[in-house]
Structure formats: C-alpha cells, structure tokens
Chains A and B, each alone.
Chain A
Amino acid sequence: MSYEDWYRQDRLPHIYCAGCGNGTIINCTLEAIDEMGWKKEETVFVSGIGCSSRAPGYIVTDSLHTTHGRALPFATGVKMSRPEFHVVVFTGDGDLAAIGGNHFIHACRRNIDLTVVCMNNQIYGMTGGQGSPTTPLGALSTTTPFGSAEPAFDLCELAIAAGANYVSRWTSYHVKELTKAVKKGMETPGLSFIEAMVQCPTNYGRRNKFKQVLDQVEYIRSHSMMRQKYLQLMEQGGAVPDNTIVVGEFINRARPAMGVPR
C-alpha cells in the first residue's frame, strides 16, 4: 500500500490551483495513515468549508464534508459515538480559527481523540482571497486592501492553551517532518493539532509580491525557525526576525482525553 491507494481515483482531477500547497499536505497525511496501517473502513475524514475542506472528497473512506467551521463538532459526534474509528479532520485557517474558533477551543479542552490537520494559507482562498484571522499584519487581501490592520492568531499556542495533547507546526516545504508529525499526532491519544503553512499562489501570493509559486515556498522555508532555536533566542533576549514561522513540535503530553478506544 502507499498513500496513492487512499485516493478516490474517479474524483480526480481535483479543484486545487496549480502550485497550491494543499495537495502536499494531503499526501503527507495519507502517507502517515498508510504507515499507521489503519483500515479504510475504520477511518473517517471530516472537514468544514474551504479549499482544505475539499480534501475528504478525494479520499476513498467514509467522510463528512460539513458546514463552515463546524467540522470539529461533527467529528466529535462520530468519535464519541464510535471511539474505535480513526477520525481525521482537515480544516483551514478561516474554517478553524474564525467561524469555528469556539469549536476549536472546546475540542482541544475536551482533548477528543482526533487528528486535526490545518492547512494555513493565511487567506480565504476559495472565496477569492479575503483576510483571515491568520493573515499577517500588513498583508494584502481583498478585504485588507491597505494591508491587514489586525494582529494574527497563533493557532499552535491557542491549541496548547486550550489543552490539546499534541501540537506541531510544519510547512508544505517540510514534507518529511510534516509526515512524521502527523503520524506522531495519530499515535498520541487525545487531540492532535498539526498546523501546516501552505502557499496559496492564486489568492495570497499574487497579491503579496510572490511572482512565482516557488518564491512563496522559498519565503516559507527561509522564514522557518525551529522552535528550540526560537525559544533559545527568546531566552537570550535575542531579536527574532519579523514574520518568523516557528516550526517543530510544540507539545506532546498526556492530559486526560475523551473518545480514546478502550
């Protein structure tokens, strides 16, 4: 078996734009699942609305493509009702952090045994590039035409504060690390949150001076900093460069969890 066996071949081609980072994240997630040796009939994908949330439709297992922001409570119903199922949630920054923010907090607090993979492209891609809660200060979007004036959300810190057992952040550049992180999340009982920074060439890159797809991927790569290094820098009072993307494992703990199969 390989990750390719998990794709619903008759649904291809997909709707993602050329150069989109989402496909990479889906591949990494399916690769992790393949390594876990999960059975297809025991695996359920759940998503909300947005580009990232279209992912379950391309996968052969049972899946719920739900309403905007609500993937986590739907997944909670599935998992609490059948803990033996492996439930993976695909979501995006708008879906998870804006309209679904409260569900995110409470799913982390309950620490429900789900794997949540968030494709953070810092924009509402599907609806044409509006600002999201993770759009960086100053970044351009159709609803922040003069640069975003709102500070952005750090979703990993939020997940930690709310109680998730496993939290890590990687990017579409770090495929090996991301795959490992997703797998580790799947192995950890309780809620695992893996944030994947992705490029959106059509609606983010185009407006924010990334002429080519690779320009944005290179930007993501060059601005990534390992969490250990970041923490060291902070401790020493060193200057952290602007727009740094802190990557790596943020937390791996064993708070009491719900929906863990007995």
Chain B
Amino acid sequence: MQGNIACAEGALAAGCRFFGGYPITPSTEIAEHMAVKLPKLSGTFIQMEDEIASMASIIGASWTGKRAMTATSGPGFSLMMENIGFAVMTETPCVVVNIQRGGPSTGQPTMAAAGDMMQCRFGSHGDYSVIALCPSSVQEMYELTVKAFNLADRFRVPVFLMADEIIGHMRERIIVPDTVEHHERKSLQPGVLPFHPDDDQVPGFPEFGKGFGVHVTGLTHDERGYPCATNPKLHEQLVMRLYNKVEQARKEIADYEVTNPDAELVFVTYGSPARSVEQVLHDTPGKKIGHLRLKMVWPFPEHAIREFHDAARFIIPELNLGQIAREFDRHTSVPVVSVPKLGGELHLPSELKKLIGVNE
C-alpha cells in the first residue's frame, strides 16, 4: 500500500468523516482516496477553492462534532497558517497532514524534504504549542494518523502529521489492524462555562447543535467565550493555558524508540532518514550505535535525550538545514552534529557510515 493511501485509510479507521482539501503534489492521493471513500461512509469530501478555505472548512466541520482532516504540502501549508492559529485559539480539534516537499516556494514538488518542521511549530503568529507526528514507514502513516485524531480530540489542538514525499509515495507492506484505538472528545458538562478548563487545562467540547449556544472567536476571550481583547491578565492566562495544556503533557504525548541506550554514538532521526540509520545499524552489528527515533517531534521530547546516559555525540541527519538539530542542541551539553541534506534524496547509509568512520 502507498503511504498516502495508508494515511487516508488510517483517517477513515479513526472515524474521520470530513475532508476539505485542495490538490497539491505530493499529497494529492490522500484527497483522491478520501473523495472515493468518504461518500460511502456518509462522510463529506469537499474540494475547496484553496488551502485557506480547506483549513477553514475542517474547523467548521469539527465544531459540528466531526473528526475532520486536510492534507497538503509546503505552499498549501503556508496558506493554512492563519487558520491554524484560529484552530489553536479556539481549541478546535483537527488533523493537518503535510507531505513535505522541497522549498522554499514551489521548490521541488516531487521530491522529499523536511523543511516545514519549524513552520508547523511556529508558523502562525503568536505564542502557542501544537503536536506534530513524523512517520517513517507506510505502517506509521496509518498508525500515526489514527493517533493524530486521538490526540487532537484529547488536547483540542491541531495535530500535524509531518510526513515527507518519500514516505507518502513509497509502497510497502502494511498490516491493517481490525480495530483502532478511539479516544472520544470530552464533552462540555452542563452548567460549566464553555472555555472553563478541567484539571488537565483542556475544556470540555461544546459541540454545535447540542444547545450550548457557544460563541467561538479567534479574539482573546474569557471562559464564556466572549471577546475580551484588551485585558492583559486575561490574555496572558489564556495563552499560557493554550501553551501549557500541550507543553506540560509532553511526557504523556511523547512517542519515540530507543535503540542501544548505552551507546556513545547516537543517531537521532524522525521521518524517512530513520530508514537510513536503521540500515546503518543493521549493517554494523559489531559497533554499538544508539538510535533515538522520534515518532513525535512537537512538543519536543527533551527527556528522551536522557535515555542515552553515555552519549558522547548525537548525530542528526535531516532533510533540512538542521531544524531539529538546533532544537536538540538546546537541551543537551553533549555535542550535536547536524547532517543536513537538501535536494530531495535520502541520506545514503554509506554516507552515514563514512561519517562515523565505518568503512564498507
């Protein structure tokens, strides 16, 4: 199965019943598959006039209680930024898939990159926090899409599936489970103000049509949902809650794999470069090499670094100029070596072996 199709199938299995999108290489297969499948499941597929509208449509659908998703790539992702901020501010659960391609601008439509990792974290204006997942196999395109919906509903934030063209277009073996985990969106309790948070900082969801009469605004709002845009204290409290509800749950949200935690030399990967590093580890059984494979990059799982207690060097191959290496470096005193790669091709195992002094 192709990665993009696995993503669409994962979304359908997770109960996604609304897809609003705009065609863009290399993500289009997701929209095409949803267009075929959603009507048969009484869901809605709509091709919007652009990615701004796509993002708006899924937010609208989400407020009616539907699990909603869009899929895009760099240029479309840029257009979505404004309404991603709206989803953050209004605490609207939704899933945004980005099959990353080479940028800036139109760049390399058919080639892989991971240049949008910082954009997904910081791309909309203002301070906030989001969740971003990075699949490195077709199997994970399926599994992490399911997970994205569960996290979006749990934390009421946009959740990003930050894949790349290689994983999106690759076909490989996948095992489709009979059932998938499903976390219900927590409903607002009667009598509670619509934006009054529970202990986990996440308010119950006042679905449209249930009589809550909720006003949803992108303006700074109080717990009633009413605009209150000139009260400094209120704004600070709201933004801090939006930020902390994700950041303080980073351990709960974290998802990574640790190989050889006692190694001195440790690779750190997410997305398709993980496959290059796995090949290096496979090919050099005599050498103890650590591997931290992040399936979730945001919120950044800084505690995962501590799993490698003997680490002397972290090597981070990325399909960008070191976006996550820089973030990683902030959290450790151990030397971090960034191995950037642009152009659309994956790091060859031979390149990485050479880098760590293994001769083929």
Contact = CB atoms under 8 A, between A and B. Distances in A.
Contact of B18 (A56, A81, A106): A81
Interface string A66-91: 11001011111111111001000000
Contact of B86 (A67, A76, A105): A67
A115 to B, nearest CB: 16
Interface in A26-67: 40-42, 44, 46, 54, 56-57, 60-67
Nearest to B17: A81
A8 interface: yes
Contact of B68 (A60, A66, A77): A77
A67 B82 contact: yes
A73 B17 CA distance: 17
Q: Which of A64, A79, A105 has the most CB of B within 10 A?
A: A64
Given A62-B208, A77-B59, A81-B64, A106 B53 contact: yes
B211 A70 contact: no
B229 to A, nearest CB: 11
A85 B50 contact: no
A85 B58 contact: no
B226 A81 contact: no
Nearest to B211: A41
B213 A61 contact: yes
Question: How big is chain B's contact interface, by range?
Answer: 35 or more
Nearest to B45: A80
Contacts of B215: 8, 56-57, 62-63, 65
Contacts of B82: 67, 70
A253 interface: no
Contacts of A41: 209-211, 213
A77 B52 contact: no
B314 to A, nearest CB: 40
Contacts of B216: 62-65
Contacts of A70: 52-53, 56, 82-83
A106 B49 contact: yes
B85 to A, nearest CB: 8
B53 A73 contact: yes
B23 to A, nearest CB: 15
A81 B66 contact: yes
B60 A62 contact: no
A102 interface: yes
A259 B86 CA distance: 24
Given A65-B219, A81-B61, A81-B68, A76 B53 contact: yes
B218 interface: yes
B219 A77 contact: no
B259 interface: no
Interface in B175-216: 206, 208-216
A132 B50 CA distance: 23
A221 interface: no
B217 interface: yes
B196 to A, nearest CB: 16
Contacts of A65: 215-219, 227
Contacts of B83: 66-67, 70
Interface residues of A, number: 36
A60 B44 contact: no
Contacts of B66: 81
A60 B224 CA distance: 12
Contacts of B20: 73, 76-77
A38 to B, nearest CB: 12
Contacts of B224: 10
Contacts of B59: 64, 66, 74, 77
B339 interface: no
Contact of B56 (A10, A61, A62, A77): A77
B48 interface: yes
Contacts of A180: none
Contacts of A57: 215, 217, 226-227
A76 B208 contact: no
Interface in A1-27: 8, 10-11
B258 interface: no
B213 A62 contact: yes
B172 to A, nearest CB: 34
Contact of A44 (B49, B52, B208): B208
Contacts of B18: 77, 80-81
A73 B52 contact: yes
A11 B17 CA distance: 35
A78 B48 contact: no
Contacts of A64: 59-60, 63, 216-217
Q: Which of B54, B82, B206, B213 has the most CB of A within 10 A?
A: B213
Given A78-B61, A81-B17, 14 more contacts: A11-B226, A41-B210, A57-B215, A62-B63, A64-B63, A65-B216, A65-B227, A66-B56, A66-B59, A66-B86, A77-B20, A78-B63, A78-B64, A81-B61
Interface of A: 8, 10-11, 40-42, 44, 46, 54, 56-57, 60-67, 70, 72-82, 85, 102-103, 105-106
24 contacts: A8-B215, A40-B211, A40-B213, A41-B209, A44-B208, A60-B213, A62-B213, A64-B216, A65-B216, A65-B218, A66-B83, A67-B82, A70-B83, A73-B20, A73-B52, A75-B60, A76-B46, A77-B18, A78-B60, A80-B46, A81-B18, A81-B60, A105-B49, A106-B53
Interface of B: 17-18, 20, 44, 46, 48-50, 52-54, 56-64, 66, 68, 82-83, 86, 206, 208-219, 224, 226-227
